[in-house]
Amino acid sequence: MSSLLSTSLLKSLACLVHQPSLLAPTVLVGMLHWGLAENSLNQYYSAQYRPAMRCSDTLPSDTVTVVCRTLNPPPIFKECLIGWLENKPLEVIISTTEEFEPLLQKIKQEIHAEQPDFGSKIKIVVSVQGAREQLMTGVQHAKGDIIATTDNHIMWPKTYLAYMLPCFDDPRVGAAGPPIAILIPKERQNANEINMWEVAAMRMANRDAGAASSALALDVIAQWRWILPGTTCIYQAYILKGKACRKGYLSDTWNGIKLDVGEDTWLSRFILKQNLILATQRCDEVVVHRTVKRTAAFHDQVLRWERSTIQSYIRTILEVPQMFKHPFIVFKTIERLLKTPLLIVHLIAWIVSLIYYPGPTLVLLAYYMYYKYKSVKSFIAAYPYMAKYWWVVVLLDFSGLYINAVASCTLSNNAWDQDEGGRDAN
Given a contact cutoff of 8 angstroms between Cβ atoms, the answer to whether 153 and 424 are in contact is yes
For residue 78, the Cα-to-chain-centroid distance in whole angstroms is 25
Does residue 147 contact residue 67 with C-beta atoms inside 8 Å? yes
Residue 415 pLDDT class (50, 70, 90 cuts):
low
Q: What is the mean pLDDT of residues 274-293?
A: 95
Q: How far apart are CA 309 and CA 74, in angstroms?
A: 26
Structural domain harbouring 295: 61-194+225-301
Using the predicted structure, report yes or no on whether residue 421 has a pLDDT greater than 90. no
| Residue 7 pLDDT | 53
In the predicted structure, residue 200 carries a pLDDT above the cut 90: yes
pLDDT score, position 23: 87
Long-range contacts of range 99-102, CB-CB < 8 Å, 24 or more positions apart? 99/71, 100/70, 100/71, 100/72, 100/73, 101/126
**In this structure, are residues 178 and 233 in contact, taking their beta carbons and an 8 Å threshold?**
yes
Asked whether residue 332 is domain-assigned, the answer is no
Report if residue 288 sits inside a domain: yes
pLDDT digit string, tens, across residues 140-153: 999 999 999 999 99
Rounded Cα distance, 407 and 190, in Å = 33
Kindly report whether the global pTM for this prediction surpasses the value 0.85. Answer: yes
Torsion of CA 305, 309, 310, 316, to 10 degrees: 160
Domain annotation covers residue 264: yes
Instruction: Judge whether 205 lies within some domain.
Output: no
Residue 257 has a pLDDT of: 87
pLDDT at residue 230, rounded to an integer: 85
Name the residue with higher pLDDT: 91 or 425: 91
Is residue 387 domain-resident? no
Domains held by the chain: number: 1
Taking the C-alpha atoms of residue 125 and residue 347, their distance in angstroms, rounded to an integer, is: 52
Is pLDDT above 90 for 321? yes
Inside any domain, residue 354:
no
DSSP-assigned letters across all residues of 119-157: HTTEEEEE--SSHHHHHHHHHHH--SSEEEEE-TTEEPP
Residues in contact with 234: Cβ distance below 8 Å, sequence separation at least 6, in sequence order: 64, 146, 147, 148, 149, 161, 164, 165, 167, 168, 175, 176, 177
CATH code at position 229: 3.90.550.10
pLDDT tens-digit series, residues 369-391: 999 999 999 999 999 999 999 99
**Does residue 56 belong to any structural domain of this protein?**
no
Q: State the Cα–Cα distance between residues 329 and 218, nearest whole angstrom.
A: 8
- Whether residue 37 is contained in a domain is answered as no
Query: What are the pLDDT digits (tens) for 152-169?
Result: 999 999 999 999 999 999
Q: Which amino acid is at 396?
A: L
Check residue 160 and give its pLDDT: 98
